[in-house]
Amino acid sequence: MTPEELLEQVKQKFGDTVTESEVKGVEVRLTIKPEASWEACRFLRDAGFEYLNCLSGADWMTHLEVVYDLSSLRHPNKVHLRVPVDRANPVVRSVTDIWRAANWHERECYDLFGVRFDGHPDHRRILLPEDWVGFPLRKDYADERLVPYTDYGMEEKLPRPEAAPGAPKAAGPPKAAAPLPPTEP
Amino acid sequence: MEREKPIPIGTTAVMERTGETMEEMYVNMGPQHPSTHGVLRLLLKLDGEYIIDCVPFIGYLHRCHEKIGENRNYTQIIPYTDRLDYLASMSMNFGYVLTVERLMGVKVPERAEHMRVILAELQRIASHLLWLATFGLDLGNFTIFIYCFREREMVLDLFEAVSGQRLNYSFYRIGGMPMDFPDTWIDDCKAFLDWFKQRLPEYDALMGDNVLFQKRVQGVGAIDPKLAVDYGLSGPMIRSCGIRWDLRRNDPYSVYDRFEFEIPVFDTCDVWARYMVRRQEMAESARIVEQALAQLPAGDIMAKMPKNIRPPAGQVYCRTESPRGELGFYIISNGSVKPYRYKVRSPAYVNLSALPEMLKGCLVADVVAVLGSVDIVLGEIDR
């Protein structure tokens, strides 16, 4: 099955719930509404994508997103499935009953993003302690221990657009201080 | 499938203590246990000497790798990837720079590609050697430990000559390699390979041909091939289930499609099969290094790159074959100097999640053998 044919089948079966779709090489990229995500995963598993490479999340400020990367051991096609979920009440149906690999991936996604997976058999935090407050990979998570990004002056060293003729020249680099007089031995 | 009611979030209910029989017992293995190679806690539920269930607890080495990555620029992340799998830093660097290059659409010079393959395959040899050494140590064979560390030390000497570091190399750059091999390095590397290939029968004599070792590992810790795919196992773990799946061959990246090598496969699915797969992979890696050294083209080692790396907005999931399996990096870029989202799919994390399945029905004494055969590195599991 070519990626185009697969995309056509998914569109026929899931209709309006597929909000975005694209074929890039051997990869089909889909965005599906959360209410149809489990059925879509089931459909894709039965279509030959028996290997769940990765399940991760992303925080887009307006909404959270659960991302599934699927592939097969028998053909080179891949699927990149994105499911946007509500940020205030992020719930999506667990796919542990489709791929067991999802178990720890979903626990990690809950741990770091706070997405709840309905029907997960062991819904606990996995990397952080159980009494941890907050979900660290959300963009609004604040922790004073986190060292923020500094560019160490790299941005200033970038070439700037030429100044208009006649404009006052920018000040050059500061002159080196005069060398100290040699000290007496 | 009948779905159970989910456990309320925030509870610690893991295993129900039924108390129906007197024989059931709970034993904590770890977090401080010499065979866990790091800080891993296994909660074992025992019936006499037999394991009924096992729950791994991880996260003791968690250090917010992904959050740190979102607050660093693309070049600054490279040294952090070293610390993911500190026994195979070259492979981690390789996976990461390949992902960023794929995002930017950069073509890396031929010589740099060959250098990358040479170093990554030497790293695979070093990583498997360390695995064999500590696996032997776990099972009480101290001699193999000394033998393997001798050869691993030679690989580390080669890496030190190239990068100046012995463990955390940070040697790959986005767009190529920072510097060429030193003058006599290629001859040194060939001399090492000649030496190393003659040592492989010694390992067989010490481990594989040892009847005590065979009795200890054959038929232990088996997992059904279908379950292995369902759990998303990768690397030697899936090849020991009789599935010929290697990303160097099945989804070729870099210049791996130009070399001839076998993919060792065993179908007994047990600890013995994992030993045999890794043992033969070392010989295949040596073959790849030899071919790459013979084909090593002259020329540039670095593509033309901007000073500030700003990949175009987009997202990519890129997978490579690290010594432990499928190493995936998932990066979302919004066109700035920092990644918007940076995710690591570490192979040992996924492989470890199938440990309870492998341990069911084993004896307590086999836990060490089965856990050792998974080849975990807690640095990349906990991230």
pLDDT in tens, chain B (383 residues): 455 555 444 444 455 555 555 567 888 887 877 777 778 888 888 887 888 888 888 888 898 899 888 888 888 899 999 988 888 999 999 999 999 999 988 889 999 999 999 999 999 999 999 999 999 888 888 899 999 999 999 999 999 999 988 888 989 989 889 988 998 999 999 999 999 999 999 898 888 888 888 888 888 888 889 989 999 899 899 999 988 888 888 888 888 988 989 999 988 888 999 999 999 999 999 999 999 999 899 888 888 888 788 888 888 899 999 999 999 999 999 888 889 999 999 999 999 999 998 888 888 888 888 988 988 888 889 88
Nearest CA in chain A to B3: A119
CA distance to partner chain A, nearest, from residue B223 (Å): 14
In which element (H, E) is residue B320 found? strand B314-322
- Hey, of A59, A99, A149, A155, which one would you mutate to test binding to chain B, going by the most B CBs within 10 A of its CB? A149
Q: Which amino acid is at B46?
A: L
Nearest CA in chain A to B61: A127
Tell if the CB–CB gap between B232 and A53 is shorter than 8 Å.
yes
Tokens of B290: 């030899």
Closest CA to B321 of B235, B238, B380: B235
Tell if the CB–CB gap between A146 and B307 is shorter than 8 Å.
no
Cross-chain CB nearest to A73 (options B64, B66, B243):
B243
Closest CA to B133 of B151, B145, B146, B147: B145
Tell if the CB–CB gap between A73 and B343 is shorter than 8 Å.
no
Q: Provide CB contacts within 8 A for B5, sequence distance 6+.
A: none
Q: Provide CB contacts within 8 A for B144, sequence distance 6+.
A: B132, B133, B136, B137, B203, B206, B207
- Residue A142 has a pLDDT of 79
Tell if the CB–CB gap between A151 and B227 is shorter than 8 Å.
no
Closest CA to B121 of B90, B149, B93: B90
Q: Which amino acid is at B177?
A: M
Chain A residues close to B308, C-beta within 8 Å? 154-155, 158
Spatial separation of the C-alpha atoms in residues A15 and A30, rounded to whole Å: 12
Spatial separation of the C-alpha atoms in residues B231 and B227, rounded to whole Å: 6
Chain A residues close to B326, C-beta within 8 Å? 53
Instruction: For residue B9, count other CB atoms closer than 10 A to its CB.
Output: 13
A41 backbone dihedrals φ, ψ, rounded to 5°: -65, -45
Q: How does pLDDT run across B236-259, given as a tens digit for each residue?
A: 999 999 888 888 888 888 889 889
Tokens of B63: 């250090």
Tell if the CB–CB gap between B308 and A154 is shorter than 8 Å.
yes
Q: What are the strands of the beta sheet with B339-345, ordered from one edge? A: B314-322, B325-333, B339-345
Chain A residues close to B3, C-beta within 8 Å? 97, 119
> 3-class DSSP state for residue B371?
helix
Cross-chain CB nearest to A128 (options B4, B59, B231):
B59
Nearest CA in chain A to B40: A127
- Hey, of B55, B317, B345, which one would you mutate to test binding to chain A, going by the most A CBs within 10 A of its CB? B317
Q: Provide CB contacts within 8 A for B219, sequence distance 6+.
A: B268, B270, B272
Residue B269 — left, alpha, or beta (φ > 0 → left; ψ -120 to 50 → alpha)? left
B153 backbone dihedrals φ, ψ, rounded to 5°: -60, -35
- Burial pattern A159-185, b for ≥16 Cβ within 10 A else e, equals eeeeeeeeeeeeeeeeeeeeeeeeeee
CA distance to partner chain B, nearest, from residue A163 (Å): 22
In which element (H, E) is residue B328 found? strand B325-333
Chain A residues close to B4, C-beta within 8 Å? 121
- Listed by start position, the domains of chain A span 3-127
Q: What is the pTM of this model?
A: 0.84
**Contact indicator for B99, B365 with CB cutoff of 8 Å:** no
Tell if the CB–CB gap between B14 and A118 is shorter than 8 Å.
no
Query: What is the number of H-type helices and E-type strands within chain A?
Result: 4, 7
Tell if the CB–CB gap between A73 and B383 is shorter than 8 Å.
no
- Hey, of B2, B3, B84, which one would you mutate to test binding to chain A, going by the most A CBs within 10 A of its CB? B3
Chain A residues close to B243, C-beta within 8 Å? 73
Which of the 8 DSSP states describes residue A169?
P
Spatial separation of the C-alpha atoms in residues A10 and A21, rounded to whole Å: 10
Tokens of A182: 């040699």
Q: How does pLDDT run across B316-352, given as a tens digit for each residue?
A: 899 999 999 999 999 999 888 889 999 999 999 999 9
- Residue B160 has a pLDDT of 92
Cross-chain CB nearest to B230 (options A80, A101, A146):
A101
Q: What is the DSSP string of A109-143?
A: HHHHH--EEET-TT---SSS-TT--S-TTSTT---
- Residue B15 has a pLDDT of 54
Instruction: For residue B264, count other CB atoms closer than 10 A to its CB.
Output: 20
- ipTM of the complex model: 0.84
- Listed by start position, the domains of chain B span 73-382
Which of the 8 DSSP states describes residue B302?
B
**Contact indicator for A105, A55 with CB cutoff of 8 Å:** yes
Cross-chain CB nearest to B6 (options A58, A120, A126):
A120
Spatial separation of the C-alpha atoms in residues A91 and A110, rounded to whole Å: 10
Tell if the CB–CB gap between B350 and A56 is shorter than 8 Å.
no
Nearest CA in chain A to B14: A122
> 3-class DSSP state for residue B46?
strand
pLDDT tens digits, chain A, 185 residues: what are they? 787 887 888 788 888 888 888 888 888 888 998 888 888 898 888 888 889 998 999 988 888 999 999 998 888 888 999 999 988 888 999 999 899 889 999 999 999 998 999 888 888 888 888 888 888 888 888 777 777 777 666 555 555 555 555 555 555 444 555 555 555 55
Closest CA to B331 of B2, B26, B72: B72
Architecture of the CATH domain A3-127: 2-Layer Sandwich (3.30)
Cross-chain CB nearest to A58 (options B3, B71, B332):
B332
A14 backbone dihedrals φ, ψ, rounded to 5°: -105, -5
For B73-382, CATH gives 1.10.645.10
**Contact indicator for B107, B159 with CB cutoff of 8 Å:** no
- Residue A177 has a pLDDT of 56
Cross-chain CB nearest to B59 (options A97, A127, A148):
A127
